[in-house]
């Protein structure tokens, strides 16, 4: 057996009560097939899937019912055969209690599969082909974050993955889903890891498991004995199962602030993710189920079940013997990083690793928060070596610049600082709120920047179009001017050739037309026009009133005035003509 490699310690960390034994006594069970399944379109980090079915459609187990809507998205498959009964908002496992678009399937009880398409020899396929299979199977991280697996495996060209780490630490209290997965599915997990190795071609593979899981350690060592991978036993300490913390424990390397493990040649995947990769590639089955822990003092028979995605939580609690009168809090996840569910009608999704049905004595309400006494215990417990006390003050003051300067986004929200706080300050809640506010501001700035760029591009496009229209107008004007000049030149040549003797008379007529009146002639012309208008006005009025004697008397004088003015203008024009 290979010697145990060196392991490193992480800063901070705590040792809360484990409470894991109560859910491991019954092995891995299969709950009854639910009558109705609720499949939310968002079960991962990224974009919602887009539905491909409508109410009334018949579906088979494993059939794609919603397709991925982008790179960071996952398709959704039918967990059993049945009829699509509805498509719309449905209960969703989230602390907000808000509904989420979902596809609801009524089971027909037959559980009929589509035709599976397993890969006989995955080593003969290119990594991109395997990535397509993993993407089409709808696999996302089963460790809690829910990051789509395919884009995580598709590292950038400048990221050479030297070490593949498989996370089997499962450090949070109560949760035993990974433990039971390793006990009962160790060969399949190892086969899934080999698929990941074929894609990434790492130089070493390390499987990290905490020392409080001896049965899982033995099963994984037996399954991995003949394979180029190593099971590494690490001390039990919370939160050693965090991605960056496990990397530091196994390799001694620290992921840079704001960076990714791939930046230093590392990649970390969960035990459950490796099992899902095995099912997708070697069995041709999409991700339609997961192993979930059902635990808590309000259950008469806590256990682990392989439940179909979309199974209502209340069905699983009934299977585990829920005593409703003792249920005080229903938590999805563990007591450290989980959240309280407001509605047990919500389904389990791909990231649902644990349902904790706790009594009042098991998870009592936190006492009222007291003022900070600056004891520094929170900083000692922080595994990311942050300053929770300072972050708390900055979060209260909404000083987002200082929050980012003090690396708020390096916080993994493990809750260790709040666990040791003697003043019972809910530090993690402040940090989550601060992150949400910063993300909202950044999104707003991003949208404003996009709007500005769109406006500038539109203005540039309109300017280009206006300039193009002006160039076309000038081209048309120049073309018309050239055509007119050509026509005039041709007409002039034709007239010259037809009557050469008439050319001087034509020039004389054109010069006469072009001549202008002298100032005296203009005055005489205006006087004649005024006299004519006065005569015409009087004639119209007389026509309207024939009996008006005054108008009859004015007409002769106006006629004489007009005649004299017209005669003067004509005489002046006649004198100028010669």
pLDDT digits (tens, 9 = 90+) for 3-12: 678 899 999 9
- Encode 20-40: b = buried (16+ Cβ within 10 Å), e = exposed: bebbbeeebbebebbebbbbb
List all residues 6 or more positions away from 216 whose beta carbon is below 8 Å from its beta carbon: 168, 178, 179, 182, 183, 186, 209
Q: Residue 505: its pLDDT value, please?
A: 53
Q: Residue 145: its pLDDT value, please?
A: 73
Domain-by-domain residue ranges, the chain? 21-35+117-358, 377-438, 519-576
Cα angle for residues 422, 426, 430 (degrees, 5° grid) = 135
Q: Residue 533: its pLDDT value, please?
A: 86
Instruction: Give the CATH fold of the 21-35+117-358 domain.
Output: Rossmann fold (3.40.50)
Sheet holding 339-340, edge to edge: 28-29, 303-308, 289-295, 354-358, 329-332, 339-340
Q: Are 263 and 156 in contact (CB under 8 A)?
A: no
Model pTM above 0.85: no
Strand partners, 82: 59, 107
Q: Residue 213: its pLDDT value, please?
A: 96
Helix (H) or strand (E) holding 357: strand 354-358
- Residue-wise DSSP of 338-352: -EE-S-TTSBP-TT-
Residues of the chain with pLDDT under 50: 1, 501-504, 506, 509-510, 513-515, 578
């Amino acid at each position: 057996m290979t010697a145990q490699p060196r392991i490193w310690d992480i800063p901070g960390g705590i040792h809360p009560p484990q409470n894991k034994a109560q859910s491991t006594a019954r092995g891995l069970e299969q709950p009854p097939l639910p009558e109705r399944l609720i499949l939310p379109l968002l079960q991962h980090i990224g974009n919602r899937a887009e539905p491909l079915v409508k109410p009334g459609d018949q579906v088979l187990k494993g059939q794609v019912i919603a397709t991925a809507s982008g790179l960071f998205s996952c398709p959704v498959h039918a967990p059993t055969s049945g009829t699509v009964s509805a498509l719309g908002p449905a209960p969703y496992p989230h602390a907000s209690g808000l509904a989420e678009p979902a596809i609801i399937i009524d089971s027909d009880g037959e559980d009929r599969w589509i035709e599976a398409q397993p890969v006989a020899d995955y080593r003969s396929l290119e990594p991109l082909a395997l990535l397509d299979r993993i993407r089409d199977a709808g696999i996302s991280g089963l460790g809690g974050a829910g990051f789509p697996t395919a884009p995580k495996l598709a590292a950038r060209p400048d990221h050479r993955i030297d070490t593949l780490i498989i996370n089997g630490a499962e450090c949070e209290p109560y949760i035993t889903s990974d433990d039971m997965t390793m006990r009962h599915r160790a060969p399949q997990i190892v086969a899934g890891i080999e698929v990941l190795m074929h894609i990434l071609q790492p130089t070493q593979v390390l499987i990290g498991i905490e020392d409080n899981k001896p049965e899982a350690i033995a099963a994984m060592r037996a399954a991995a004995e003949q394979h180029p991978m190593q099971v590494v036993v690490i001390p039990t300490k919370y939160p050693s199962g965090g991605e960056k913390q496990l990397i530091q424990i196994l390799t001694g390397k620290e992921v840079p602030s704001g960076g990714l493990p791939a930046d230093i040649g590392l990649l970390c995947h969960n035990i459950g993710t490796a099992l899902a990769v095995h099912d997708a590639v070697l069995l041709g089955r999409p991700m339609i189920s997961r192993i979930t822990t059902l635990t808590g003092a309000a259950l008469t028979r806590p256990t682990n079940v392989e439940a179909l995605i979309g199974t209502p939580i209340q069905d699983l609690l009934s299977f585990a013997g829920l005593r409703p009168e003792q249920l005080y809090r229903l938590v999805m996840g563990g007591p450290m990083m989980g959240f309280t569910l407001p509605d047990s009608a919500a389904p389990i999704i791909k990231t649902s690793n644990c349902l904790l049905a706790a009594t009042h004595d098991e998870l009592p309400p936190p006492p009222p928060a007291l003022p900070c006494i600056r004891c520094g215990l929170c900083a000692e417990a922080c595994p990311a070596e942050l300053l929770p006390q300072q972050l708390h003050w900055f979060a209260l003051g909404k000083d987002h610049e200082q929050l980012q300067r003090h690396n708020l986004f390096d916080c993994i929200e493990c809750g260790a600082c709040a666990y040791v706080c003697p003043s019972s300050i809910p530090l993690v809640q402040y940090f989550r709120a601060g992150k949400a506010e910063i993300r909202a501001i950044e999104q707003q700035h991003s949208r404003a920047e996009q709007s500005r760029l769109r406006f500038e591009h539109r203005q540039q496009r309109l300017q280009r179009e206006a300039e193009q229209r002006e160039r076309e107008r000038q081209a048309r004007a120049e073309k018309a001017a050239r055509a007119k000049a050509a026509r005039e030149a041709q007409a002039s040549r034709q007239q010259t050739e037809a009557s050469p003797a008439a050319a001087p008379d034509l020039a004389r007529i054109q010069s006469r037309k072009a001549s202008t009146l002298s100032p005296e002639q203009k005055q005489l012309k205006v006087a004649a026009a005024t006299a004519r208008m006065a005569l015409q006005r009087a004639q119209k009025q007389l026509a309207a009133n024939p009996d008006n004697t005054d108008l009859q008397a004015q007409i002769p004088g106006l006629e004489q005035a007009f005649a004299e003015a017209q005669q003067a203008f004509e005489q002046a024009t006649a004198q100028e003509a010669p």
